[in-house]
Amino acid sequence: MKFQKIPAIKSSEITEQSIFENRRQLIKLAMVSTVGLLVPTPSMAKIYSKIPSGKQSVNLETTDFKDVSNYTNYYEFTTNKQDATHLAKNLKTDPWSVTVEGEVEKKGTFFLEDILKNNALEERIYRFRCVEAWSMVVPWIGFSLADFIKQFKPTSKAKFVEFTTLYDPEIMIGQKTKVLDWPYVEALRMDEAMNPLTFMATGMYDDALPNQNGAPLRLIVPWKYGFKSIKAIVKIRFTEKMPVTAWNKMAKKEYGFFANVNPEVSHPRWSQKRERILGASIFTPKRTTEMFNGYGEQVAGLYSNMDLKTFY
């Protein structure tokens, strides 16, 4: 997969001086809106539209917003991929706190807004248009997970980072079922977490992240299957041992810990060699599934000594 280079900026597109001088305040306002609103306002969309593109912008057509926002795997609410859009509206995302624990120097429970302010994370927000689960291309907005992690100063014992979703069965009614062992847990190896492609999303399509898409804080790992993209994160734990993750615990033979896209390893119930773009007609030919979802050049080295048919 090739990445398109960011073109030179035309003189007509240069930001006016008055806007540039107020950039810091605009970004702060965008972050407050991200963590504090369920329905984005037009002014907020205008703020997000000024956020720059990241270096990794794929050269594929962007998936329609309606498809991405109305077709979600959010089992905390429902196993139906369409109903989470309505069921998630009652989730309150302001205030939102994240607990950090384990093998780190800086532990505790922090408000998300304060975390973003530390190390000027609110000024490192950028747009990352990437291929994601189910063969869709989404313009996410957020920041590097590596930048997020560094402020907590992991120790040398931190080999894995574990993420946990909010547990609130009264709002997340899917948690009243036995589909998974709640709360939802996912994890990465530290070198995966620190890779430049690994991303924490707070918005998408020039707006705040919708509730059904994981507001206010969601993990994005573009070379892995979608079940790694844990939503509504409330706890991050650094550990020396590989954590037990939700889908791997539920069906170990179907969902491996690493979850790398590998078309040569079929799911026990279906082939993964070809895929259809989300929102495309059933008459649209499927495309060939790419190794590591097309990001092999950036991430293959992480698994150079591993048999990816065993460590799936």
Q: Name the residue ranges covered by the structural domains of the chain.
A: 18-247
What's the CATH fold of domain 18-247?
Answer: Sulfite Oxidase; Chain A, domain 2 (3.90.420)
| Maximum C-alpha span of the chain | 58
Per-residue confidence (pLDDT) for residue 270, from 0 to 100: 82
Q: How confident is the model at residue 164 (pLDDT cuts 50, 70, 90)?
A: very high
Residues with Cβ within 8 Å of 214's Cβ and at least 6 positions away in sequence, in order, are 74, 201, 229, 230, 231, 232
Per-residue confidence (pLDDT) for residue 55, from 0 to 100: 55
Q: Tokens 């109305």 appear where?
A: 70
Could you report the per-residue pLDDT of 282-298, keeping only the tens digit for each?
Answer: 888 888 888 998 889 99
188 versus 269: which is more confidently predicted?
A: 188
Per-residue confidence (pLDDT) for residue 190, from 0 to 100: 98
Could you report the per-residue pLDDT of 71-97, keeping only the tens digit for each?
Answer: 999 999 999 999 999 999 999 998 999
Answer yes or no: is pLDDT of 53 > 80.
no
167 versus 10: which is more confidently predicted?
A: 167
Q: Measure the CA–CA gap between 214 and 163, rounded to whole angstroms.
A: 13
Per-residue confidence (pLDDT) for residue 187, from 0 to 100: 98
Q: Please, are residues 225 and 293 in contact by the beta-carbon 8 Å criterion? A: no
Q: Measure the CA–CA gap between 256 and 249, rounded to whole angstroms.
A: 9
Alpha-carbon torsion (228, 229, 234, 239), positive or negative: positive
CA dist list (Å): 307 to 3, 262, 296, 304: 27, 11, 15, 8
Retrieve residue 87's tokens: 């069921």
Helix (H, G, I), strand (E, B) or coil at 242: coil
Dihedral over alpha carbons 254, 259, 263, 264 (to 10 degrees): -70
Could you report the per-residue pLDDT of 125-160, keeping only the tens digit for each?
Answer: 777 777 765 678 888 888 899 999 999 999 999 999
| Average pLDDT score over residue span 237-257 | 95
- Number of C-alpha atoms within 13 angstroms, CB side, residue 69? 17
Q: Tokens 């429970």 appear where?
A: 109
